[in-house]
Amino acid sequence: MTAILGLLALLIAPAHAQQPKTIRAVMHSDLKVLDPVWTTANIVRNHGYMVWDTLFAMDASMQVQPQMVDRWTLSDDKLTYTFTLRDGLKFHDGKPVTGEDCIASLKRWGARDSTGIKLMTFVSGFEAIDDKTFRLVLKEPYGLVLDSLGKPGSSTPLIMPKRIADTDPNKQIDEFIGSGPFIFKKDEWKPGDRTVYVRNPDYKPRAEPPSGLAGGKVAKVDRVEWLAIPDHQTAVNALLAGEIDYIEAPPHDLKSLLLGDKNVRLEVYNTIGAQYAFRWNTVVPPFNDERVRRAAMYAFNQQDFLKGVIGDDKYYQVCKAMFVCGTPLENDAGMDGLLQSNFAKSKELLKEAGYDGTPIVMLHTTDIAVLTNAGPIAKSLLEQGGFKVQMVPLDFQAIVARRLRKTLPSDGGWNGFMTAWLSVDMMNPLTNSMLTASCDKANFGWPCDAEVERLRDAYARAPDLPARQKIAAELQARAVQYGTHIHLGQYTLPTATRADRLSGMVASPIPVFWNIEKK
């Protein structure tokens, strides 16, 4: 009998040992759109980093490093970049990554992303040299090529198979084959329930240790599940009970519950944080009038948003720098008198503009903790400044779809909404997509100002940091005067994890799941 039990133990033990290691995570939003080029939504960008890889990536020091690229050269006339890919790069369908895949991917990204669009105005053409080598040829020297290819923010220049990247940029892709460290399980994707990724056994990580979004991306778990739990209290309870392992962005008002459990770790991994913004639609009344946009700038103040939503001043900072406080381009040009809730000045400008009291339709995010309270605060401040506001509650993915409409609010359009962007996206005039003012080619809201675009071009051509700083100040002043958007302060969010299970989290502006080990 003892021998039989021993044999059974031997048979059972390996099966138990081979149970897949799974991280169960609750992200800041449910995933309902899968094309990371088609939308700038952060959750879709996070999904993109799971599945696809990048030619270059930003490390923890915010320096751009090669990722899929093994080596690169720049010609003496600074017009031709030649890139050679690393050995062993394969897509999830087993096919090798080629230079033609890279070219097609960059062209599609460059047709939609604000940084890519600007880069492509300097590009003369691309050429595939062999399977692993391709060239990017410029019309004139452009010092931000690598910065553009290594940008972490939405939309990221992710590399896809050519047949997928050849999809019309204005249509969503319907295949999700990448070459990244995880494979997307479309057959298990259930919006409103879960998104599933499994480890890519063929992924060949770089030899360097992980640093930010650069270095070796080693998947140390078999499976990652993003669970849709829209109720924050329920998610926190699940973490405390050990039913899940990770909450990307628990609300600050539940922080005390998490801090009270020794098995939970609460830590800020995105130390540069995020920036609040109010975005208006400049193509329909009333925000098609510069005076009305400025009235909102007078009505708002940053402190109300930061205190009302974040609460703990350990995690927020009042900051009038459009390009983020604590960065080389920090400045407060053009901000005198603004963001101080000067309601009398706001009303004066509305009267001057002939605002007739038609309610502005403000889209209000209901399912993201850092935005749910921001909408009511914006409504209150605008109304005190003389606006009438109709707040339309929607989940974030519905807002992602609706904000693309240029129609009047009465025909399903919109006037404005509160949003937030990772600070790393807002740090310079080319990655800051809210700043783009190229009319129909601009991001939703469609600002249209030739001087903003002239200054963005000048920034791209600037030879050194002092020259860029000077142009950034001029650009901020002009963008504020025109009113591309209004920045409303900075904040950080701690991530909650089961300290008794997970280790190896990477400090990064974007949540990543490589290098994480699970006990």
Q: Give the span between the Cα atoms of 139 and 461, in whole angstroms.
A: 12
Helices (H), 155-206: 162-165
pLDDT score of 149: 97
Residue 362 predicted with pLDDT over 70:
yes
Q: Angle at CA 504, nearest 5°, toward 502 and 509?
A: 110
Q: Angle at CA 465, nearest 5°, toward 462 and 467?
A: 45
pLDDT tens, 44-56? 999 999 999 999 9
Is 155 in contact with 45 (CB distance < 8 Å)? yes
pLDDT tens, 128-176? 999 999 999 999 999 899 999 999 977 899 999 999 999 999 999 999 9
Is 68 in contact with 150 (CB distance < 8 Å)? no
Q: Give the span between the Cα atoms of 79 and 16, in whole angstroms.
A: 58
pLDDT score of 361: 98
Q: Give the span between the Cα atoms of 499 and 506, in whole angstroms.
A: 14
Q: Give the span between the Cα atoms of 512 and 519, in whole angstroms.
A: 18
Tell me 376's DSSP state.
H
Residue 496 predicted with pLDDT over 50:
yes
Tell me 477's DSSP state.
H
Helices (H), 71-189: 99-110, 114-122, 145-149, 162-165
pLDDT tens, 439-478? 998 989 999 999 999 999 999 889 889 999 999 999 999 9
Q: Give the span between the Cα atoms of 127 and 251, in whole angstroms.
A: 48
How do 158-159 and 194-199 pair as beta strands?
A: unpaired
pLDDT score of 8: 36
Q: Give the span between the Cα atoms of 191 and 31, in whole angstroms.
A: 6
Residue 10 predicted with pLDDT over 70:
no
Q: Name the strands in the sheet holding 246-247, side by side, starting at the edge strand that comes first in the sequence.
A: 182-184, 194-199, 223-227, 22-26, 246-247, 495-498, 264-267
Phi, psi of 73 (to 5 degrees): -135, 155
pLDDT score of 389: 98
Is 490 in contact with 273 (CB distance < 8 Å)? yes
pLDDT class of 17 with cuts at 50, 70, 90: very low
Measured from the Cβ of residue 231, the count of other Cβ atoms closer than 10 Å reads 10
Token pair listed for 2: 């003892």
pLDDT class of 320 with cuts at 50, 70, 90: very high
Q: Give the span between the Cα atoms of 377 and 245, in whole angstroms.
A: 33
Query: What count of residues does the chain have?
Result: 519
Residue 15 predicted with pLDDT over 80:
no
Give which of 64, 69, 56 is closest to 99, Cα–Cα: 69
Q: What is the CA radius of gyration of the chain?
A: 24
Whole-model pTM? 0.84
Residue 20 predicted with pLDDT over 90:
no
Question: What string of DSSP letters covers 24-82?
Answer: EEE-SS------TTT---HHHHHHHHHH-EESEEE-TTS-EEESSEEEEEE-TTS-EEE
pLDDT class of 406 with cuts at 50, 70, 90: very high
Per-residue pLDDT, averaged over 411-431, amounts to: 93
Token pair listed for 166: 């050849």
pLDDT tens, 60-112? 998 999 999 999 999 999 999 999 999 999 999 999 999 999 999 999 999 99
Q: Give the span between the Cα atoms of 493 and 293, in whole angstroms.
A: 29
**Which tops the pLDDT comparison, 342 or 255?**
342
Furthest-apart CA atoms within the chain: distance in Å: 95
Residue 401 predicted with pLDDT over 80:
yes
* Mean confidence (pLDDT) of the chain: 93
Measured from the Cβ of residue 437, the count of other Cβ atoms closer than 10 Å reads 27
Per-residue pLDDT, averaged over 315-325, amounts to: 96
**Which residue in the block uniquely carries the two structure tokens 């033990």?**
13
Residue 495 predicted with pLDDT over 60:
yes
End-to-end CA distance of the chain: 33
Percent of the chain predicted with pLDDT > 90? 86
pLDDT score of 463: 85
What are residue 194's DSSP bridge partners? Answer: 190, 227
Is 181 in contact with 217 (CB distance < 8 Å)? yes
H helix count then E strand count, the chain: 17, 23
Give which of 53, 51, 52, 45 is closest to 27, Cα–Cα: 45
pLDDT score of 3: 42
Residue 295 predicted with pLDDT over 90:
yes
Distances in whole angstroms, Cα of residue 323 to Cα of each of 315, 463, 483: 18, 19, 15
Give which of 426, 412, 407, 416 is closest to 491, Cα–Cα: 426
pLDDT score of 18: 58
